[in-house]
């Protein structure tokens, strides 16, 4: 059994914890940077990216998560987590962690009232995955080493670069643990 941590500063924390357990792995709520040494993979959940970035900075997570990344430990950023790991943001704002070679537009599909659900064809999955988009970002550019896993209306909504996985949508809310299993497989079988 591996241990997956969920950054517990804000956002859909409980839903990720439940999903980790649903695939038979150990879930830990991460509230302190020193806990990163005890986990095999980290999920940065959805929430409000600006607030989460400020909290990460305030509690000393920026350097700790960067060190975790440099140890080649897998990271999964969902929705706001995708914004937080991006190397570039389509705004005047500076990037937060800058771990993945993508350029992300916050609220790429609009504000709260433009939230929606849509079936997505995801690379490596036979059946469509229900994408739940809530004030979702989108990637407007990916680097040459980034593998696009899913698109919605030609917009990039899921991708992977080595040991970093991102989704613009909320897989933890879909009642489908295939995305979580994909992340678990990344942790158990590194290919970088």
Catalytic residues: 79, 170, 172
Contact status, residue 78 vs residue 12, Cβ threshold 8 Å:
yes
Alpha-carbon gap, residue 4 to 36, rounded angstroms: 10
| Residue written as token pair 């350029």 | 103
Could you tell me whether strands 116-120 and 129-133 are parallel, antiparallel, or unpaired per DSSP bridges?
A: antiparallel
Cα gap 166→159, rounded to integer Å: 5
Distances (CA, A) of 188 to 85, 138, 164: 21, 28, 14
Decide: 86 and 121 in contact? Cβ < 8 Å. Answer: no
| CA pair distance 192, 172, nearest whole angstrom | 25
Tokens 């302190």, residue? 32
SS3 assignment, position 144: coil
Residue written as tokens 């059946």?
Answer: 127
Name the pairing type of β-strands 100-105 and 138-142: antiparallel
């Amino acid at each position: 059994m591996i241990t997956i941590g969920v950054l517990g500063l804000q956002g859909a924390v409980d839903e990720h914890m439940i999903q980790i357990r649903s695939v038979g792995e150990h879930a830990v709520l991460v509230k302190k940077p020193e806990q990163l040494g005890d986990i095999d993979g980290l999920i940065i959940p959805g929430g409000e990216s600006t607030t989460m970035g400020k909290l990460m900075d305030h509690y000393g997570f920026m350097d700790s998560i960067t060190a975790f990344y440099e140890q080649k430990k897998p990271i999964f950023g969902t929705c706001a987590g995708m914004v937080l790991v991006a190397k570039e943001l389509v705004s005047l704002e500076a990037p937060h962690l800058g771990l993945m070679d993508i350029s992300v537009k916050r609220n790429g599909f609009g504000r709260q009232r433009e939230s929606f659900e849509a079936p997505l064809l995801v690379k490596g999955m036979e059946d469509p995955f229900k994408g739940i988009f809530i004030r979702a970002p989108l990637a407007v550019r990916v680097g040459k080493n980034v593998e696009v896993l899913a698109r919605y209306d030609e917009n990039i909504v899921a991708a992977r670069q080595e040991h970093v996985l991102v989704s613009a949508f909320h897989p933890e809310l879909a009642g489908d643990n295939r995305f979580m299993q994909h992340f678990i497989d990344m942790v158990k079988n590194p290919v970088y």
